[in-house]
Amino acid sequence: MENGTTENKGTFLDLFSGIGGFRLGMEQAGFRCVGYCEIDGHARKSYQSIFGTKQEVEMHDITKLSNEFIRGIGRVDIITGGFPCQAFSLAGKRKGFSDTRGTLFFEIARFASILRPKLLYLENVKGLLNHERGATFETILRTLDELGYDVEWQLFNSKEFVAQNRERVFIIGHLRGAGTKKIFPLTREEGSADQKSGRIRLAGTTHAANDLSRFTRERTYYTDGLMGTLTATDYKTPKQIVVGNVNPSGGGMNGQVYDASGLSPTITTNKGEGNKIAIPILTPDKATIRQNGRRMKENEAPMFTLTTQDRHGIIVAGSIDGSYRSAAAIHSVEGLCPTLTTMSGGGREPKILVKEATKKGYTAALPGDSINFAYPKSTKRRGRVGNQQANTVVTGDQQAVVTDDFQIRKLTPLECWRLQSFPDWAFLSAKFGSRQIAEEIISNGLDHYNCRYDQKTSDSQLYKQAGNSVTVSVIYFIAKHFKINDTTAFDRFSER
């Protein structure tokens, strides 16, 4: 991330502040925060732990603030706000202004009409631009125009700054007569960025029903596209990992076999039938065998030594186009790795396939790629696999990453915060409720998963807070171009 400046370029009011993504970017650009507004108590506590806000105006429910209270805040140069986007998002029901959350834009307009800041700096999903065929965005532009603001906007993708595909529209309102200059369009000065849309490819599901059209939390994705969108509910998956069924029919609850790394299924009476857990076993084709040493291993233990007699399985999960079976086979991560050959490269290396609405019908995922879990059986979705980067961090879809040994794991809360450009000290401040503790953990090189400090914010809230935030590096990149002129005469006029 680019370094900001300590110069005080002006003041700003942080509306719909969340955990402070706007604030971090604005402060890096040299602006000073005078107050913040956030209705979510968990996000507000994280915000306070990160920044220390004792001398600032603190607001909760923006709809309950009187005009007199707002007027008492005093002069500010900029109002920032990522007003709630669920009413306009392509991932939601898109009720727009008929949704209570959609009407919160007019609270920003109320603040602007009273405080008359020289700049408005707003953010929302790109779906705002075409919601109701553009009528919603036209209403926003008309409202700001009537308040005396000339408006410009531009669509930015976070993948130009971090490893996350996140398209957002940024709106700048210039108060007429304040002397601020047009900012957009902006392009990155540092090198070129891949402008192609990221692709997500669905690999499958860990749910027992194996229904890719449902159970979105259990979906897995290939890794040769963008990372799947981060959400506030990623912490809930996987609940159980089903690796197979031992019944001849391939179905039935009593025959389900579960991975030992997932949660245990519900224990039932089942007429003596117990739940089954998959563990490594030597010579599985023989019911009994006379041998020295153990025949079974604990979960995650190394596999047995390979011999000329013992049998160890390789599970072939499918195949892709190719003349040679060994080069075209797709292997399950539950079996052993096949023999490495001189052809294990050039596209013939092991891979995981994720279903997509393409001509091939799939996209191959490799280690380091992300996989989006949302709607795995959809016949219309593409871009499920992230090529060494993540998809949008939000609060609904699911995503994971493919490891070097072709295992699929969730992102940690810290990784989600990093995808939004938050420094580690900010994440640790929110997790432990103290910036001092965060600095001690970092300076002493402590493992924040195993230290003497108590976690104050749950992982579920940390996931949610990352998904609801803005990308700090994008906020800074735009804000560093702001220039607030010293228009004293104008200020006296505007206060009349």
> What's the pLDDT band for 333 if we cut at 50, 70, 90?
very low
Per-residue pLDDT at 43 exceeds 70 = yes
Q: What's the average model confidence in pLDDT over 438-447?
A: 97
Going by C-alpha positions, the residue among 45, 423, 413 that lies closest to residue 233 is: 413
Per-residue pLDDT at 248 exceeds 90 = no
Half-sphere exposure of 27 (CA within 13 A, CB side): 12
When mean pLDDT is compared over 74-88, 433-447, 459-473, the highest value belongs to 433-447
Task: Please give the positions annotated as active site.
Answer: 85
Q: Where in the chain is the domain with CATH 3.40.50.150?
A: 10-186+465-494
Q: What's the average model confidence in pLDDT over 172-177?
A: 97
When mean pLDDT is compared over 91-105, 172-186, 335-349, the highest value belongs to 172-186
Q: What is residue 84's predicted lDDT score, i.e. its pLDDT?
A: 79
Per-residue pLDDT at 332 exceeds 80 = no
**Distance separating alpha carbons of residues 409 and 236, to the nearest angstrom:** 13
Please provide the size of the chain in residues: 496
Backbone angles phi, psi at 106, to 5 degrees: -70, -20
For the structural domain made of 10-186+465-494, what CATH number should be given? 3.40.50.150
Percent of the chain with pLDDT over 90: 40
More confident residue, 380 or 197: 380
Going by C-alpha positions, the residue among 446, 35, 392 that lies closest to residue 226 is: 392
Instruction: Using DSSP bridges, classify how beta strands 399-402 and 370-372 pair: parallel, antiparallel or unpaired.
Output: antiparallel
Q: What is residue 302's predicted lDDT score, i.e. its pLDDT?
A: 56
Q: What's the average model confidence in pLDDT over 343-356?
A: 60
Q: What's the average model confidence in pLDDT over 46-54?
A: 95
Q: What is residue 385's predicted lDDT score, i.e. its pLDDT?
A: 76
> What's the pLDDT band for 183 if we cut at 50, 70, 90?
very high
Percent of the chain with pLDDT over 70: 55
Q: What is residue 203's predicted lDDT score, i.e. its pLDDT?
A: 62
**Distance separating alpha carbons of residues 373 and 390, to the nearest angstrom:** 12
CB distance 322 to 346 below 8 Å: no
More confident residue, 353 or 135: 135
Q: What is residue 264's predicted lDDT score, i.e. its pLDDT?
A: 62
Q: What is residue 116's predicted lDDT score, i.e. its pLDDT?
A: 98
> What's the pLDDT band for 386 if we cut at 50, 70, 90?
confident
- pLDDT, tens digit (0-9, with 9 covering 90-100), for 57-100: 999 999 999 999 999 999 999 999 998 755 444 444 544 444 44
- pLDDT, tens digit (0-9, with 9 covering 90-100), for 187-244: 986 433 344 444 555 666 766 676 666 666 666 655 555 545 555 555 555 555 666 6
Going by C-alpha positions, the residue among 115, 127, 119, 114 that lies closest to residue 80 is: 119
| DSSP collapsed to 3 states, the chain | CCCCCCCCCEEEEEECCCCCHHHHHHHHCCEEEEEEECCCHHHHHHHHHHHCCCCCEEECCHHHCCHHHHHHCCCCCEEEECCCCCCCCCCCCCCHHHCCCHHHHHHHHHHHHHHCCCEEEEEEECHHHHHHHHHHHHHHHHHHHHCCEEEEEEEEEHHHCCCEECEEEEEEEEECCCCCCCCCCCCCCCCCCCCCCCCECEEEECCCCCCCCCCHHHEEECCEEECCCCCCCHHHCCCCCEEEECCCCCCCHHHEEEECCCCCCCCCCHHHCCCEEECCECCCCCCCCCCCCCCECCCCCCCCCCCCCCCCCCCEEEECCCCCHHHHEEECCCCCCCCCCCCCCCCCCCCEEEECCCCCCEEEECCCCEEECCCCCCCCCCCEEEECEEECCCCCCCEEEECCCCCEEECCHHHHHHHCCCCHHHHHHHHHCCHHHHHHHHHCCCCCCCCCCCCCCCHHHHHHHHHHCCCHHHHHHHHCCCCCCCCHHHHHHHCC
For residue 496, what are its two tokens?
């009349």
Q: What is residue 369's predicted lDDT score, i.e. its pLDDT?
A: 78
CB distance 360 to 319 below 8 Å: no
Backbone angles phi, psi at 130, to 5 degrees: -115, 10
Helix crossing, 424-432 with 435-443: angle to 10°?
Answer: 130
User: 332-336, 358-362, 419-423, 435-439: lowest mean pLDDT where?
Assistant: 332-336
> What's the pLDDT band for 45 if we cut at 50, 70, 90?
very high
Residue 131 CA, chain-centre distance (Å), reads: 23
Q: What is residue 223's predicted lDDT score, i.e. its pLDDT?
A: 52
Average pLDDT value for the chain:
75
Helix crossing, 472-479 with 21-28: angle to 10°?
Answer: 40
> What's the pLDDT band for 158 if we cut at 50, 70, 90?
very high
More confident residue, 200 or 400: 400
Q: What is residue 384's predicted lDDT score, i.e. its pLDDT?
A: 64
